[in-house]
Structure 1
Amino acid sequence: MGGGGGSMESGEPEFQIAPMIDCLLVLLIFFMSITTASVLQIDKDIVLPVAPDAKKPEKAKVQEGAINVKWDAKAQKGVFSFEGVTYDDTAVLVERLKERLETIKGYRLIIRGDSRLPAVEIQKTMNILANAGYSDLSFSALNQ
């Protein structure tokens, strides 16, 4: 009688490593694709403000996105980026944000504002998000 698990002489089945490697590679690709999507939303040039009483948010049950606002010292203005794209025209940004809100139910945004931003630029960001119809917002800060 033929068996696929090894020789019948010893009575012990052999361990098959090829299917294990296949499963491992599938899981690796899955987690890499998920991580890449969330990492694209973070701009490493932004220096987050420090808030000693900041707390980590609870795990969101809805999908979140991040709008990055960094200070351009040469132009003396805030630069907006969303999903890896920098927007010079705020009207285009508003339309993109509206589209995201309409296609994903319960979508919420995290504002990642540079600590060097003047308060006027944060107010401008809040106005952009209000024009796009957002009411569920969070601010990103460090607690150290």
Structure 2
Amino acid sequence: MAGGGGGGDGEPEFQIAPMIDVLLVLLIFFMSITSAQVLRIDQDIRLPVAADAKKKDDKNAMFEASINVSWIAARQEAKIKLDTQELPNEEIVKVLTERKNNNPTYRVIIRADRDVLAVEIQKVMALIAQAGIDDISFSTLNQDS
């Protein structure tokens, strides 16, 4: 009997090799998506605590920027990163404006260290406003970790 891959009694054999191939492809796919999201987050930032914080909806993660604002205590200044890049303020506005022009629903998540002064957050919000983006969220924790 040609082909079929079954036994002599008419029942098909279970082929494990194609199942493993599919499983590995899915594993690689999900690992690459997850690591792209994790790279945008600065792990050194200690987020502030907001007891009523709500979990973010991840369905629009492709259409948002993450601005990480860390506080350098030794120099008493804030360091601003757009996603993973530290850029001058003018360049941040330029990049955000271009992204907003390509997608009118583009939004920004501000991830600021709990030690950053409010005036520094105002400066970041002014940069976002210059780019024409009015959908801004703040990243917080709902309990201290």
Instruction: Give me the TM-score of the superposition, normalised by structure 2.
Output: 0.88
Q: Which residue of 2 aligns with 1:85?
A: 85
Q: Which residue of 2 aligns with 1:32?
A: 31
Q: Which residue of 1 aligns with 2:101?
A: 102
C-alpha distance in 2, partners of 1:98/1:24? 40
Q: Which amino acid aligns with 1:132?
A: A
User: Alpha-carbon deviations, 1:70-127, whole Å to 9, x = none?
Assistant: 001122111111121112x211111111122222341111100110001110011111
Q: Which amino acid aligns with 2:97?
A: K
Q: Which residue of 1 aligns with 2:7?
A: 7
Q: Which amino acid aligns with 1:80?
A: I
Q: Which residue of 2 aligns with 1:68?
A: 68
Q: Percent identity?
A: 55
Aligned residue for 1:70, secondary structure, equals strand
What RMSD in Å do the two structures reach over aligned CA positions?
1.7
Post-superposition offset of 1:59: 4.6
Instruction: Give me the TM-score of the superposition, normalised by structure 1.
Output: 0.89
Give aligned pairs, total: 142
Q: Which has a greater percent of helix?
A: 2
Q: For structure 2, list consecutive stretches of 5 or more residues without a partner in the other structure.
A: none
